[in-house]
Amino acid sequence: MVNSLEEYLLYLEEKGFSLKEDAKGFIAFGQQYTKMPDEMVIFSVEWTLKMQKEFDGSFFVALLEQLAAQKVKTRKQAMQVLKQTGMI
């Protein structure tokens, strides 16, 4: 299990999914902008990749903003938000 955003990005690279520098920039921007913890940023990256089949910076930031607005703190809460909004 990965505990930090940095570890997660390394994990993705090990699995053959390398994010470009602009994607990493979007991730850093999104985290700073929303002040969300690594766990929620990782969740947002995962769901961005699952839903978009590639990294989409605007989708990622919008998802992270939505989680921040709902004051989501856990993956379980994040999943509930996705269900409520019809994303899953």
Token match 């703190």: residue? 73
pLDDT tens-place string over residues 35-75: 999 999 999 999 999 999 999 999 999 999 999 999 999 99
Q: Quote the CA–CA distance of 20 and 82 in Å, as a whole number.
A: 26
pTM above threshold 0.95: no
pLDDT-based confidence at residue 12 (cuts at 50, 70, 90): very high
For residue 3, CA distances in Å to 8, 38, 48, 68 come to 7, 8, 19, 20
CA 26/CA 85 separation, integer angstroms = 23
Percentage of the chain exceeding pLDDT 90:
90
Residue 1: its pLDDT value, please? 67
